[in-house]
A and B are shown apart, each in its own frame.
Chain A
Amino acid sequence: MDFYVLGQQLVNGLVLGATYGLVAVGYTMVYGIIGMINFAHGEIYMLSAYLTAIGVSVLSYWGFGSPWALIALTLLFAMAITSLYGVVIERLAYRPLRGSNRLAPLISAIGVSLILQNYVQLSQGARNQGVPTLIDGALRFGDQEHFFQITYMQVVIIVVAFISMLGLNLIVRYTTLGRACRAVQQDREMAQILGIHADRIIAAVFAMGAAMAAVAGVLITLNYGSFDFFVGFITGIKAFTAAVLGGIGSLPGAMLGGVLLGLAESLFSGFVNSDYKDVFAFGLLVAILIFRPSGLLGKPIVEKV
Chain B
Amino acid sequence: MQSWLGRLALSLVLASAPYLQAAGKEIVIGVAGPHTGANAPFGLQLWKGAELAAQQINEAGGVDGRKLRLVKADDACVPAQAKSVANKLVNTDAVNAVIGHFCSSSTIPAASVYRESDVLMITPASTNPRVTEDENYKTKDCSALTDAKKKESCELGNYSPIMRMCGRDDQQGVEAAEFIATKLKAKRIAVIHDKDTYGQGLADAMRAHLKTIGLEPVLYEGLTRGEKDFNALVTKIKATKADAVYFGGLHSEAGPLLKQMREQGLKSAFISGDGIVSNDFVSAAGGEQFVSGVYMTFGADPRKFPEGKKVVETFRKTGYEPEGYTLYSYAAVQAIVAAIKGSGDDRDGHKLSKWLVENGVNTVMGQAKWNPKGDLLKSGYVMYVWDQKGKYAEVGQL
A binding-site residues for B, Cβ under 8 Å: 2, 5, 8-9, 11-13, 15-16, 19, 118, 121-133, 138, 147, 149, 151, 220, 224-228, 230-231, 233-234, 265-267, 269-271, 273-275, 277-278
Cβ-defined contact, A118 with B282, below 8 A: no
Cβ-defined contact, B264 with A8, below 8 A: yes
Which residues of B lie under 8 Å from residue A225 when comparing CB positions?
A: 255-256, 259, 283-287
Cβ-defined contact, A226 with B41, below 8 A: no
Cβ-defined contact, A129 with B239, below 8 A: no
Q: Report the minimal beta-carbon distance from A148 to chain B, rounded to whole angstroms.
A: 8
Cβ-defined contact, A121 with B36, below 8 A: yes
Sampled A-B contacts (9; CB under 8 Å): A8-B238, A13-B232, A19-B229, A126-B36, A126-B41, A130-B287, A228-B252, A230-B37, A270-B236
Which residues of B lie under 8 Å from residue A118 when comparing CB positions?
A: 36
Which residues of B lie under 8 Å from residue A121 when comparing CB positions?
A: 36, 40
Which residues of B lie under 8 Å from residue A277 when comparing CB positions?
A: 224, 232
Main SS at interface, chain A: helix
Query: Would you give the 0/1 interface string for B1-36, flagging 1 where the beta carbon is closer than 8 Å to chain A?
Result: 100100000000000000000000000000000001
Cβ-defined contact, A122 with B1, below 8 A: yes
Query: Would you give the 0/1 interface string for B236-261, flagging 1 where the beta carbon is closer than 8 Å to chain A?
Result: 10110000000000011001100110
Q: Report the minimal beta-carbon distance from A140 to chain B, rounded to whole angstroms.
A: 8
Which residues of A lie under 8 Å from residue B289 when comparing CB positions?
A: 133
Q: Is B393 an interface residue (CB 8 A)?
A: no
Beyond A126-B36, A128-B283, A149-B264, list 4 extra A-B contacts (CB 8 Å).
A15-B229, A130-B285, A133-B259, A226-B285
Cβ-defined contact, A226 with B255, below 8 A: yes
CB contact list, B140-176 vs A, under 8 A: none
Cβ-defined contact, A228 with B256, below 8 A: no
Q: Report the minimal beta-carbon distance from A5 to chain B, rounded to whole angstroms.
A: 5
Cβ-defined contact, B232 with A9, below 8 A: yes
CB contact list, B44-63 vs A, under 8 A: 44
Cβ-defined contact, A8 with B1, below 8 A: no
Known contacts A224-B259, A228-B252, A274-B223; is A5 also within 8 Å of B239 by CB? Answer: yes
Residue among B1, B222, B228, B287 with the highest chain A CB neighbour number at 10 A: B228
Cβ-defined contact, A273 with B221, below 8 A: yes
Cβ-defined contact, B286 with A226, below 8 A: yes
Cβ-defined contact, B228 with A220, below 8 A: yes
Which residues of A lie under 8 Å from residue B286 when comparing CB positions?
A: 130-133, 224-226
Cβ-defined contact, B280 with A129, below 8 A: yes
Q: Report the minimal beta-carbon distance from B75 to chain A, rounded to whole angstroms.
A: 14
Cβ-defined contact, A127 with B232, below 8 A: no
**Please, how many angstroms separate the alpha-carbon atoms of A131 and B256 in the complex?**
12
Please tell me which one of the listed residues A226, A233, A267, A274 contacts residue B256 in the complex, with CB atoms under 8 A apart: A226
Q: Report the minimal beta-carbon distance from B304 to chain A, rounded to whole angstroms.
A: 27
Which residues of B lie under 8 Å from residue A11 when comparing CB positions?
A: 231
Q: Is B377 an interface residue (CB 8 A)?
A: no
**Please, how many angstroms separate the alpha-carbon atoms of A149 and B234 in the complex?**
12
Cβ-defined contact, A8 with B252, below 8 A: no
Q: Report the minimal beta-carbon distance from A18 to chain B, rounded to whole angstroms.
A: 11
Known contacts A126-B40, A126-B44; is A275 also within 8 Å of B222 by CB? Answer: yes
Cβ-defined contact, A12 with B282, below 8 A: no
Cβ-defined contact, A123 with B4, below 8 A: yes
Cβ-defined contact, A128 with B284, below 8 A: yes
Which residues of B lie under 8 Å from residue A138 when comparing CB positions?
A: 263
**Please, how many angstroms separate the alpha-carbon atoms of A234 and B229 in the complex?**
11
Cβ-defined contact, B252 with A16, below 8 A: no
**Please, how many angstroms separate the alpha-carbon atoms of A209 and B278 in the complex?**
35
In the complex, residue of chain A having the shortest beta-carbon distance to the beta carbon of B219: A274
In the complex, residue of chain B having the shortest beta-carbon distance to the beta carbon of A233: B226
Q: Is B235 an interface residue (CB 8 A)?
A: yes
Known contacts A133-B286, A234-B224, A274-B236; is A228 also within 8 Å of B38 by CB? Answer: yes
Which residues of B lie under 8 Å from residue A233 when comparing CB positions?
A: 226
Cβ-defined contact, A12 with B232, below 8 A: yes
In the complex, residue of chain B having the shortest beta-carbon distance to the beta carbon of A227: B228
Which residues of B lie under 8 Å from residue A274 when comparing CB positions?
A: 221-223, 232-233, 236
Which residues of B lie under 8 Å from residue A265 when comparing CB positions?
A: 232
Q: Report the minimal beta-carbon distance from B389 to chain A, rounded to whole angstroms.
A: 15
In the complex, residue of chain A having the shortest beta-carbon distance to the beta carbon of B193: A275
Q: Report the minimal beta-carbon distance from A125 to chain B, rounded to whole angstroms.
A: 5
Which residues of A lie under 8 Å from residue B259 when comparing CB positions?
A: 133, 224-226
Known contacts A128-B252, A233-B226, A275-B195; is A226 also within 8 Å of B284 by CB? Answer: yes
In the complex, residue of chain A having the shortest beta-carbon distance to the beta carbon of B43: A126
Q: Is B227 an interface residue (CB 8 A)?
A: yes
Known contacts A12-B232, A149-B265; is A231 also within 8 Å of B226 by CB? Answer: yes
Which residues of B lie under 8 Å from residue A230 when comparing CB positions?
A: 37-38, 226
Which residues of A lie under 8 Å from residue B233 when comparing CB positions?
A: 269-270, 274
**Please, how many angstroms separate the alpha-carbon atoms of A265 and B227 in the complex?**
12
Q: Report the minimal beta-carbon distance from A121 to chain B, rounded to whole angstroms.
A: 6
